[in-house]
A and B are shown apart, each in its own frame.
Chain A
Amino acid sequence: MNTATKSLDELIGREYRHGFYTLLETDTVPPGLNEDIIRLISAKKNEPDFMLEWRLKAYRHWLTMKEPEWANVHHPAINYQDIVYYSAPKSDKSGPRSLDDVDPELLRTYERLGIPLKEQAMLAGVAVDAVFDSVSVATTFREKLAELGIVFCPFSEAVQNHPDLVRQYLGSVVPHTDNFYAALNAAVFSDGSFCYIPPGVRCPMELSTYFRINAKNTGQFERTLIIADKDAYVSYLEGCTAPMRDENQLHAAVVELVALEGARIKYATVQNWYPGDKEGKGGIYNFVTKRGDCRGANSHISWTQVETGSAITWKYPSVILRGDNAIGEFYSVALTNHYQQADTGTKMIHLGRNTRSTVISKGISAGRGQNTYRGQIKVLTGAEGARNYTQCDSLLLGSHCGAHTFPYIEVKNPTAKVEHEASTSRIGEDQLFYCTQRGIAPEDAVSMIVSGFCKEVFKELPMEFAVEAQKLLGVSLEGSTG
């Protein structure tokens, strides 16, 4: 083995930094799934009847469905009866009202993850709705947002306080029949984030949620619903990390975005869940359905994701371009290392006239990682003058990893214009030598080259998160930065 390959292998062979877990008393239901469990979850959350009915309908439909087999990922069969579907940290009955009420052990966990909740909120003007396992434990800046009429709260609270909004929009983008995991989520989801921006309001701060999976054998099924009313604007950030664990953990979230006329939603994800160890043992299965609906004319939805974690990622943030002149964007960096598998990409469904979509996907594979881009561009008959541009680049580090690209293009309107560009490159020994000859340490050189490769995506992230994402890539590749 030559030294460059060796140093690359060493760099990418470091261990996950967030491997620890918090000892908390939890309120947990027995494992397994049946209608009683769903009734129990709904009752624990004191939900109105329409919610219970919706969950049961989804569950009954789920029973008729099969797991998708088309993805380019491999894992042992999941026994859905072994999973615990509800787990909440046990504090006082009414739940914490402020950060002071939050279990200090929990806050320490966040601190070790580098999420100083308070400071982050204060200094960066970020309101954080932190989800710990299944229940939101801390929400900041909500009062300030409330003055503008913005609702930003845990999903369970929205069900209590804004049932009409929930009823109107829940499942309107991702119906419970959509796919196997979305149906499962609809049946058992325990919490998540809810956000509503009223007409003409520009949300003055980045809204942010950190998800974290903690309890053993707990599948996490959170649900996020964001509605931007006419001419509203919101930028939403989601970041995730999980402690080290041997059992594989299932994560099947659903995110629904609704943009009405002239509204704009920016949704950014930084995902750093436990990817499994060097031998491919453990790690999160991240089977997520994310979809945005540009429901009104001139609406605009962009997804930006930086995916560095999870053993398996199955995720296709999509945009339905329903309104005329609507814009859909997808910017993605997906990194796979060791035995990680990622099958990710997007769907852009053009329905309205003069709708435009842009897809920029950057896949980085290291170790024995397998990285698949799967993208669908669909232009339906009514989409006069629709445009799509897709650029799909893969970067390989070492010789045991793989990059795969599956573009699906379906055009039913002759005026549409769809472009697809793809490239695959390797971090060359000559690039590394060029950097080291200038005194730059090999691990810094790898970070710099990878960051350069991802530049087009990073510039879509809010400044402080771009820095974070860059660090995260560094950490995921060599564990020494930050």
Chain B
Amino acid sequence: MLLVKNLHASVNGKEILHGIDLHVRAGEVHAIMGPNGSGKSTLAQVLAGREGYQVTQGSVTYLDHDLLAMPPEARAREGVFLAFQYPVEIPGVSIALFLKTSLNAIRRERGLPEVDAMDFLGLVRERMKRLGMDEAFLTRAVNQGFSGGEKKRNEVLQLAVLEPLLAILDETDSGLDIDALKTVADGVNAMRGPERAIVVVTHYQRLLDYIVPDYVHVLSQGRIVKSGGPELARELELHGYGWVEAKNGARQVA
């Protein structure tokens, strides 16, 4: 589904990713772990098409498309979803309007009829129930005045409604207490299925206790320095990132 080859990317002329290779198939859950500044979020942003992130080398193929040639909205309509680490506020725009606009933009691309208000409400209510969310949430302005937990829950709600093929979760666990973490993880787990791939970007292993990945990749200084199964996450928890970096002879930070 997603094939990343020798991906180099820079921000403000500074190279952050120094050649990433990654292969994600439908039905798989991959975890990308790494210390702060290792390039995890940069990878997520590059895949979603954020401007200001220049790809200097390499390629990304997604369902036979050259992903890097597509503008962000086209990627989203083809099924690429990014759950943001820092979701932005959009004052005066209700979650209901935002999500309905988004859903219909995606449905149009897929040749499906647009959903009307009634069908949309039905769908959203069902998904919200699953996530233990209050319906009053729908009338609130997007992310405005939300707590950290509410913002992340809102991201997972969008994931559940939009049903993307490739979901990238960027530090979705950050700022969550244990109960919220469980709810969010349940929401994500409910989305697992043979047609969908999920890439979980995280600093901590604890999210992976709830969303158990098929593969774990350790990112350090812009490279994947180690890949393995879910047990790798636990080893990291025991030994810290220094262990992998030292073992693989990654450049030491001065």
When the two chains form their complex, are residues B98 and A448 in contact, meaning their CB atoms are under 8 A apart? yes
Task: Pick the contact of B48: A2, A430, A437, A454 (CB < 8 A).
Answer: A437
Task: List residues of A (1-42) whose CB comes within 8 Å of B's CBs.
Answer: 2-4
Contact across chains for A433 and B97 when beta carbons are under 8 A apart = no
Distance in angstroms between the alpha carbons of A195 and B89 in the assembled complex? 44
Closest to A393 in B: B91
Q: Are A449 and B93 in contact (CB under 8 A)?
A: yes
B98 to chain A, nearest CB (A): 7
Q: B179 an interface residue at 8 Å Cβ cutoff?
A: no
A439/B92 contact (C-beta < 8 A), A2-B51, A429-B51 known: no
- Per-residue CB contact flags for chain A residues 408-444 toward chain B (1 = under 8 Å, else 0) read 0000000000000000000011110111111111101
Nearest Cβ in chain B — how far from A415, in angstroms? 33
| Chain A residue with Cβ nearest B74 | A439
Q: Mark B77-104, 1 if CB is under 8 A from A, else 0.
A: 1000110100111111100011001100
The reply on A144 being an interface residue by CB < 8 A is no
Task: Find A438's partner among B50, B71, B102 (CB 8 Å cutoff).
Answer: B102
Known: A430-B88, A448-B101. A437 touches B76 (CB 8 A): yes
Main secondary structure of the interface of A (DSSP, over half): helix
| Candidate in A2, A3, A437, A442 with the most chain B CB atoms within 10 angstroms | A437
In the complex, chain A residues whose CB is within 8 Å of the CB of B237: none
**A452 CB–B CB distance under 8 Å:** yes
Specify which of A433, A438, A454 is in contact with B162 (CB 8 Å cutoff). A438
A contact residues, range:
20 to 34
Contact mask for chain B residues 28-63; partner A; CB cutoff 8 A; 1 contact, 0 none? 000000000000000000001111100000000000
* Cβ of B105 under 8 Å from chain A: yes
Across the two chains, which residue of chain A brings its CB closest to B76? A439
Beta-carbon contact of A436 and B73 below 8 Å: yes
A455 part of interface (Cβ distance < 8 Å) = yes
> Which one of A4, A431, A437, A444 contacts B90 once the chains associate, using CB atoms below 8 Å?
A431
Q: Tell me whether B106 is interfacial, beta carbon within 8 Å.
A: yes
Q: Is the CB of A439 within 8 A of B102?
A: yes
B72 is an interface residue with CB less than 8 A from chain A: yes
B126 at the interface (CB under 8 A from A): no
CB pair A451–B93 under 8 Å, yes or no, is: yes
Q: How far is the CA of A444 from the CA of B97 in the complex (A)?
A: 12
B158's nearest neighbour on chain A, judged by CB, is A438
The answer to the question of A169 belonging to the interface, with a C-beta cut-off of 8 Å to chain B, is no
Report yes or no: B73 in contact with A454, Cβ–Cβ below 8 A: no
A428 to B81, CA, bound (A): 20
Residues in A neighbouring B51, C-beta threshold 8 A: 2-4, 429, 433
Q: Does B195 contact A (CB under 8 A)?
A: no
Is the Cβ of A434 less than 8 Å from the Cβ of B73? no
A429, A430, A442, A452: the one within 8 Å of B93 (CB): A452
Q: Contact between B90 and A434 (Cβ–Cβ < 8 Å)?
A: yes
Query: How far is A444 from B88 in the complex, measured between Cα atoms in Å?
Result: 17
Which A residues are CB-close (under 8 A) to B76? 436-439
Report the minimum CB–CB distance from B65 to chain A (whole Å). Answer: 15
Most B CB atoms within 10 A — which of A438, A439, A441?
A: A439
Residue of B nearest to A444 (CB): B101
CB-based contact A431/B102 at 8 Å: no
CA distance A448 to B49 in the complex (A): 21
Chain B residue, CB-CB nearest to A428: B88
User: What residues of B have a CB within 8 angstroms of the CB of A449 in the complex?
Assistant: 90, 93
Q: A439-B105, A441-B105 are in contact. Are A451 and B73 (CB under 8 A)?
A: no
Choose from B50, B84, B93, B106 the contact partner of A439 (Cβ within 8 Å): B106
Q: Chain A residues near B72: list those with CB within 8 A.
A: 433, 436-437
Residues of chain A within 8 A of B77, CB atoms compared: 439
**Is B141 in the interface zone, CB < 8 Å from A?**
yes
A454 & B92 in contact (Cβ 8 Å cutoff): yes
B170 CB to nearest chain A CB (Å): 11
A437 and B106 form a contact (CB under 8 A): no
Question: Does B109 belong to the interface (CB within 8 Å)?
Answer: yes
Contact, CB under 8 Å: B82 / A439: no
Give the CA-CA distance A430 to B87 in the complex, in Å.
9
Q: Which of B4-32 contact A (CB under 8 A)?
A: none
Asked whether A433 lies within 8 Å of B93 as measured between CB atoms, the reply is no
| Chain A residues positioned under 8 Å from B105 (CB to CB) | 438-441, 444
Contact across chains for A439 and B88 when beta carbons are under 8 A apart: no
Return the chain A residue nearest B78 by Cβ. Answer: A439
In the assembled complex, A389 has its CB within 8 A of some CB on chain B: no
**Complex Cα gap A454–B93 (Å):** 10
Is A465 among interface residues, defined by CB-CB distance under 8 A?
no
Contact B73 A431 (CB under 8 A): no
Check if A453 is an interface residue, CB within 8 A of chain B: yes
Inter-chain contacts of B109 with A (CB < 8 A): 439
CB atoms of A453 and B92 under 8 A apart: yes
State which residues 214-246 of A face B: CB under 8 Å: none
B residues within 8 A CB of A4?
51
Tell me the A residues contacting B by CB distance below 8 Å: 2-4, 428-431, 433-442, 444, 448-449, 451-456
Show 13 A/B contacts (Cβ-Cβ < 8 Å), sorted by A: A431-B88, A431-B90, A434-B87, A437-B48, A438-B102, A439-B76, A439-B77, A439-B109, A448-B101, A449-B90, A452-B92, A455-B92, A456-B92
By Cβ-Cβ distance, the 9 closest A-B pairs, closest first, are A452-B92, A452-B93, A438-B102, A439-B76, A455-B92, A439-B105, A436-B72, A436-B73, A439-B106
A-B contacts besides A2-B52, A428-B88, A439-B162, 14 pairs, CB < 8 Å: A4-B51, A431-B88, A433-B72, A438-B102, A438-B106, A438-B162, A439-B73, A439-B77, A440-B101, A448-B98, A452-B90, A452-B141, A453-B91, A454-B92
Spell out B's residues near A (CB within 8 Å): 48-52, 71-73, 75-77, 81-82, 84, 87-93, 97-98, 101-102, 105-106, 109, 141, 158, 162
